[in-house]
A and B are shown apart, each in its own frame.
Chain A
């Protein structure tokens, strides 16, 4: 399968993401420049972490107007897989492909640390290789990761089972302490109603090789690869 990694001015996890797709998982992967109009036949688009446009105005607010984002939106609305990591998640919120918004972390500090996140939905193309309640040790690095959604929106998320990851203790319990940035209901990642667009603040690409401290992020890439390959087999049996 093929990953397309979108590059904005200020993206800084694009190379890590491409490296993991290519070198760790032996998949095809290509950079997609934000000014282009071509998704180059990618099966899954990744909006990587970083500080697109220097986080000017609001995190992710300017990147959403890039020419390529029109194609990404179309791709997403047609059911294509889109994964937004950190700044990529912020862009998906600004684009309106995911509900809610990001506020500054509750302690007003840039947080760069390993956290534990619990998988609360394995019925998605991004988590199908994981187990419900499984706790992943994955790093975060953000200033604006305090996810906000109003009560009605939150009820909707719950009803549709859209909350995929929650910040938790190592044993999976939720606590005020484990909710490092103050997110509504400890939300660390969520999926759209159609189940093909996922945003998450933690960086799975930074936790894909044990030598880097954790390879718990692998499950996200493994899930995507399994999902796409299964779909391709259905399209072309034998």
Chain B
């Protein structure tokens, strides 16, 4: 089972990298880009675990390892 976990800064946290990317997009003329937030993607391959169990365990491992809950939020999708 493939799971994609998306980690990004919470809305309350400034993201200077995203801002810089936005700025360079504007420089190229794409000035309709109103906001850029940069994050990380993790692709996990799980085996020997039910979909139901995965849905429970992924928030746990994300909180423990993949993200720092003080500054980051996450979402995930089970791909198959």
A-to-B contact residues, CB < 8 Å: 57-58, 61, 94, 100-101, 103-104, 106-108, 148-150
Partner of B16, one of A58, A94, A106, A148: A106
Q: Which 8 A-B pairs have the closest CB atoms?
A: A101-B70, A101-B71, A101-B68, A108-B16, A58-B68, A148-B71, A106-B16, A104-B16
Main secondary structure of the interface of A (DSSP, over half): loop
Query: What is the total number of residues of chain B having a CB less than 8 Å from a CB of chain A?
Result: 11
- Chain B residue contacts of A106, Cβ below 8 A: 14, 16
Q: Does B20 contact A (CB under 8 A)?
A: yes
Partner of B13, one of A57, A58, A148: A148
- Complex alpha-carbon distance, A148 and B12, angstroms: 11
Residues of B43-80 whose CB lies within 8 A of A:
65-66, 68, 70-71
- Chain B residue contacts of A57, Cβ below 8 A: 65-66
Which residue in chain B gives the minimum CB-CB distance to A96?
B70
- Complex alpha-carbon distance, A108 and B17, angstroms: 7
**A-B pairs with beta carbons under 8 Å apart, 21 shown:** A57-B66, A58-B68, A61-B65, A61-B68, A94-B68, A100-B70, A101-B70, A101-B71, A103-B13, A103-B14, A104-B16, A104-B17, A106-B14, A106-B16, A108-B16, A108-B17, A148-B13, A148-B70, A148-B71, A150-B12, A150-B70
- Chain A residue contacts of B14, Cβ below 8 A: 103, 106
Residues of B10-41 whose CB lies within 8 A of A:
12-14, 16-17, 20
- Complex alpha-carbon distance, A58 and B65, angstroms: 10
- Chain A residue contacts of B16, Cβ below 8 A: 104, 106-108
- Complex alpha-carbon distance, A61 and B12, angstroms: 22
- Chain B residue contacts of A58, Cβ below 8 A: 68
